[in-house]
């Protein structure tokens, strides 16, 4: 189903490209748009993730540089049954995060420095579980390719604005076709982003909650992230709005048209769904299971725990005490 959705998405975006080419240059323009669209799709499949990471100045980190964050991602990846993704940090004050990559074997997760400063360890676990859910669902390919092609459609609209001519014999609609491309191309790209992002965010919230075991962690994090994104600008995202749907919360300041054109679902609805999911999980899970749910540990907790556990192959002395099957 993941591959089918991707194929349908790419076919729809190709149709947009070809329609815009038809309105700008007739059959010749449509053929050029077809060739250009195939090239963009091929390039986006293999390289769009690297482009997005470079666009935001993301730097890859190792366990030595960020041990707590790296170990948290590794633990959640194991719980999700995923390979360890590459871990990136973006030097950006706005708290946010996204995942990218064409498949789980080539995935990457990125978090801003503002996110790491703002959230508690449990809230951070909820956010990264959400991003790993995108990887698990193979949403990262669809979202990254969509960002690339939406950007190309916007570029086509700019081309029509500056170079379009209504007196060409190859343009069947004349100046009307140029105006339609200028208006409809970015609007169509925005509508595709909205349709993709809103449905996938709800699903990633649900699966991310299952990965970390606590929907309330993500609900608490989302409330903080929404306030942070509202009050802190993200200059790179404002310059590249086609990538906005990749983030866990909307990085753009679209206050006046938030409900109509936002690439993300309403935050109150997301939090309400997570709270309802937390209540359902609390009712279904036995007390013994809830007591042993995984919780992110701080380094000092890990060091104390590891010091009390004997290494494999080490000799231990038997302690005096009551004998029995559980001695």
The phi-psi region of residue 321 (left if phi > 0; otherwise alpha if psi is between -120 and 50; otherwise beta) is left
CA–CA separation, 242 vs 157, rounded Å?
A: 13
Helix axes 121-136, 67-80, angle to 10 degrees: 50
295 in a known ligand binding site? no
Reference 203, options 45, 2, 9; nearest CA is 2
CA–CA separation, 155 vs 176, rounded Å?
A: 19
201 in a known ligand binding site? yes
From the candidates 131, 226, 238, 279, give the one annotated as an active-site residue: 131
**Residues 99 and 162 sit within 8 Å (Cβ to Cβ):** no
The answer to whether 131 is a known catalytic residue is yes
130 in a known ligand binding site? yes
Reference 246, options 145, 161, 152, 165; nearest CA is 145
* Residue indicated by tokens 């200028």: 182
Alpha-helical (H) ranges within the chain are 2-55, 67-80, 113-118, 121-136, 139-163, 175-212, 215-231, 235-239, 258-261, 267-284, 287-291, 299-308
Annotated catalytic residues are 131
Q: Which residues are annotated as a binding site for Zn(2+)?
A: 130, 134, 201
Q: Which residues are annotated as a binding site?
A: 130, 134, 201
């Amino acid at each position: 189903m993941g591959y089918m959705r991707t194929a349908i998405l790419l076919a729809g975006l190709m149709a947009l490209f070809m329609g815009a080419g038809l309105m700008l240059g007739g059959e010749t323009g449509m053929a050029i748009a077809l060739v250009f669209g195939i090239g963009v799709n091929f390039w986006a499949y293999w390289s769009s993730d690297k482009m997005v990471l470079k666009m935001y100045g993301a730097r890859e980190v190792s366990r030595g540089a960020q041990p707590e964050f790296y170990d948290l991602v590794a633990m959640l990846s194991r719980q999700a049954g995923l390979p360890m993704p590459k871990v990136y940090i973006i030097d950006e004050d706005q708290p946010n995060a996204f995942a990218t990559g064409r498949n789980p074997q080539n995935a990457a997760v990125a978090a801003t420095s503002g996110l790491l400063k703002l959230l508690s360890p449990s809230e951070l676990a909820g956010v990264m579980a959400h991003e790993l859910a995108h990887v698990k669902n193979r949403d990262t390919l669809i979202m990254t390719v969509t960002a690339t092609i939406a950007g190309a459609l916007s570029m086509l609209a700019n081309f029509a604005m500056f170079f379009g001519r209504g007196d060409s014999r190859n343009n069947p609609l004349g100046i009307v076709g140029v105006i339609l491309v200028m208006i409809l191309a970015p609007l169509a790209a925005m509508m595709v982003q909205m349709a993709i992002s809103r449905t996938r965010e709800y699903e990633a919230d649900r699966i991310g909650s299952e990965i970390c075991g606590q929907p309330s962690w993500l609900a608490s994090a989302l409330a903080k992230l929404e306030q942070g994104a509202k009050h802190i600008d993200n200059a790179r995202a404002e310059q590249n709005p086609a990538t906005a749907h990749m983030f866990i919360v909307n990085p753009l300041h679209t206050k006046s048209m938030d409900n109509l054109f936002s690439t993300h679902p309403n935050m109150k609805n997301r939090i309400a769904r997570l709270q309802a999911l937390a209540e359902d999980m609390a009712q279904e899970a036995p007390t013994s299971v809830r007591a042993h749910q995984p919780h992110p540990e701080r380094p000092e907790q890990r060091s104390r725990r590891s010091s009390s556990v004997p290494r494999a192959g080490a000799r231990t002395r038997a302690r005096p005490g009551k004998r029995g099957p559980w001695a």
